[in-house]
Amino acid sequence: MHLRRIGEGFSRTRNIHSAKSSSRDGRPRAELVLITGLSGSGKASALKAFEDLGFYCVDNLPVELIPRFAELAMQSAEIQRTAIVVDVREGSALEKLPGILKSVRRMIPTKVLYLEANDAALLRRFSETRRPHPLGTNAPVKAALQEERKHLRSIRALADLVIDTSKFNVHELRAHITEQFKHAASDKNILVSCVSFGFRHGVPEDADLVFDVRFLPNPHFVPEFRPLTGRHSRVAKYIRSFPQTQEFIKRISELLVYLLPHYIEEGKSYLTISFGCTGGQHRSVMIAEEVGKHLRKAGYRVKIVHRDSPK
């Protein structure tokens, strides 16, 4: 799909994004993105991109509920950045959207993203998916697209950003939307899972990176540590007492802090890092906890999971 920036709309988007994106307490300020456009132009892929950016996303929200939804977003501490899809599936109610949008913009900073594509690209996509056009099956898809363009003409005129997706693929579209709508705070918008496991129980299938920590001294052979796990302070202190442990944690943490921005740049929204020892009770548990702490200090969202502890 190919991007076509519409001069006036793109300028307005640039101005909007130059404003401060965070509230005084450090949270992203409330904002609403309304995604609309032609059927088959990539609205579902766009919505997934916003979901990866941390937006609360809703597909096909009835237009009458948009003001209430915006009000809830303004009041909620959990729902700040929101994105909704509204299109011709709304039927005749879509005619109310320009007026509703005008009132909503007085409540919450709102941007309209309009997606379109040329007839050849849209006809090809409908042929590939074999899905009917939302306006019905009584007329050819090309005629339905022409009718849809008429229905959406007034809404397109309100758009802050218009994207022609004719020559973009799904990944390119999502990457472009991410670049346009990410905030400074979302530069580290990736969920990192630090997982401990035991090799005797198998390597986690969803692991992106696997580190073998069986080279570290094993607390299992210390009788008083055997019934405990790597989360216990005495066990952690024992493992940490060896120079190779501290060196490993330092080097791996530095490597991951270097790698994560590159994964984010490639569009990855989550990364699973697995640390394995023999049984998954002591060394891997302690290392997952320690590396997770370092990544949190670096500003990343981290989830720590101990798959095999306790067994």
- SS3 category, 237: helix
- Label residue 60 exposed, middle or buried (CB < 10 Å: 0-12, 13-18, 19+): exposed
Q: Is residue 48 part of a domain?
A: yes
- 225 contacts: CB under 8 Å, gap ≥ 6: 219, 232, 234, 235, 238, 282
Residues 11, 160, single domain; the answer is: yes
157 and 251 inside one domain: no
Q: Classify residue 103: in a domain, yes or no.
A: yes
Higher local confidence (pLDDT), 116 or 127:
116
Nearest alpha-carbon partner for 303 in 214, 193, 220: 193
Write down the pLDDT at residue 77. Answer: 67
- How many domains does the chain contain in total? 2
Residue 224 placed within a domain = yes
pLDDT score, position 136? 73
Whole-number pLDDT of residue 189: 67
114: pLDDT strictly greater than 50: yes
Domain with residue 99: its CATH number is 3.40.50.300
- Do 139 and 92 sit in the same domain of this protein? yes
Q: Do 133 and 206 fall within a single domain?
A: no
Reported as a single tens digit per residue, the pLDDT across 166-204 is: 888 888 888 888 878 875 445 666 889 999 999 999 999
As a whole number, mean pLDDT of residues 272-280 equals: 97
CB–CB of 1/121 below 8 Å?
yes
Verify that 148 and 241 share a domain, yes or no: no
Residue where a domain terminates, one of 184, 212, 243:
184
Q: Is residue 131 part of a domain?
A: yes
SS3 195: strand
- The predicted pLDDT at position 81 comes to 84
For the chain, the average pLDDT equals 84
Using one digit for the tens of pLDDT, what is the confidence trace for 209-268? 999 999 999 999 999 999 999 999 999 999 999 999 999 999 999 999 999 998 887 767
Convert the pLDDT of each residue in 148-166 to its tens digit. Answer: 998 899 899 989 889 888 8
Q: Indicate the residue among 184, 217, 237 that finishes a domain.
A: 184
Same domain, yes or no: 172 and 199:
no
Same domain as 273, residue 225? yes
**21 pLDDT higher than 60:** no
The verdict on 174 and 197 lying in the same domain is: no
Range of the domain at 145: 7-184
pLDDT of amino acid 135: 79
Is residue 122 assigned to a domain?
Answer: yes
Q: Are strands 191-198 and 301-306 parallel, antiparallel or unpaired?
A: parallel
* Residue with the larger pLDDT of the pair 226 and 134: 226
3-state helix, strand, coil in the chain (%, to 5): 45, 20, 35
Instruction: Specify whether the CB–CB gap between 281 and 311 falls below 8 A.
Output: yes
Q: Is 42 helix (H, G, I), strand (E, B) or coil?
A: coil
Same domain, 147 and 203: no
CB 72 within 8 A of CB 79: yes
Residue 212 counted as domain residue: yes
Same domain, 180 and 194: no
Q: What pLDDT score was predicted for residue 151?
A: 85
Shared-domain flag, residues 135 and 151: yes
> Do 135 and 218 reside in the same domain of the chain?
no
